[in-house]
Amino acid sequence: MPIHDGWLEGARRVPSPHQDVRPDGEVSLLVLHSISLPPGRFGGDAIERLFTNRLDPAGHPFFAAIAGLEVSAHLLIRRDGECVQFVPFQARAWHAGRSCWRDGGIERQALNDFAVGIELEGDEVSPYTQAQYRALAAATRALQASYPALTPERITSHAHVAPLRKSDPGPAFDWAYFRQQLVAADIYA
């Protein structure tokens, strides 16, 4: 699953207007998120509509509060393992919000400037699927091949970079299993 011109091969492309140029072109952090729209429900096109500025505020009571948000992620991994890409990796997606990262003893903010954001379709309590872990491991290995600064220590959660605001991907995400899948993806690459 290589990356060509910032796009993951095999991912369905749904370009988002919520992106811009990375100020320094740096890609050195991977932030994992979770999302379900409406909350706790999987499937449907609401996530894609949110990231492309087409979410109908009347479609669900929850949507009225978020319909105007200008947010995106680079990649969404659906429950069945399908990858949907909204922003090329060399561009800045709008996913991390107010957050910070401790980088070699220096606190860095404006994480969107140098981070890739991957959303897992899910909530913080439902187990993620095997297909999602496999797709995430394959996408992560492709990113690491294209951006060598994305070492295992530079893969984190939204909860870690914005602990007072966010808790995703939550306790349902099995970090040990993901790391096993990542090693297996490396062995079979």
In this predicted structure, what is the pLDDT of residue 183? 87
Domain boundaries, the chain: 3-188
pLDDT digits (tens, 9 = 90+) for 61-70: 999 999 999 9
Q: What is the CATH number of domain 3-188?
A: 3.40.80.10
For range 111-139, the mean pLDDT: 96
**Residue 30 and residue 5: Cα distance in Å, rounded?**
18
9, 26, 70, 119: the catalytic one is 119
**Residue 157 and residue 60: Cα distance in Å, rounded?**
28
pTM of the model: 0.95
Which of helix, strand or coil describes residue 159?
Answer: helix
Q: Which residues of 162-178 are buried (b: 16+ CB within 10 A; e: fewer)?
A: beeebebbbeebeeeeb
Q: What distance lies between CA 114 and its chain's CA centroid?
A: 13
Beta bridge partners of 71: none
Q: Has residue 187 got a pLDDT over 80?
A: no
In this predicted structure, what is the pLDDT of residue 1? 78
Based on the residue annotation, tell me whether 119 is a catalytic residue of this protein: yes
Q: Are 99 and 161 in contact (CB under 8 A)?
A: yes
**Reported confidence tier of residue 186, pLDDT bands at 50, 70, 90:** low
Residue among 108, 100, 126 at smallest CA distance from 39 = 126
Which amino acid is present at 145? A
Beta bridge partners of 155: 30
pLDDT digits (tens, 9 = 90+) for 136-173: 999 999 999 999 999 999 999 999 999 888 889 999 99
For range 81-104, the mean pLDDT: 95
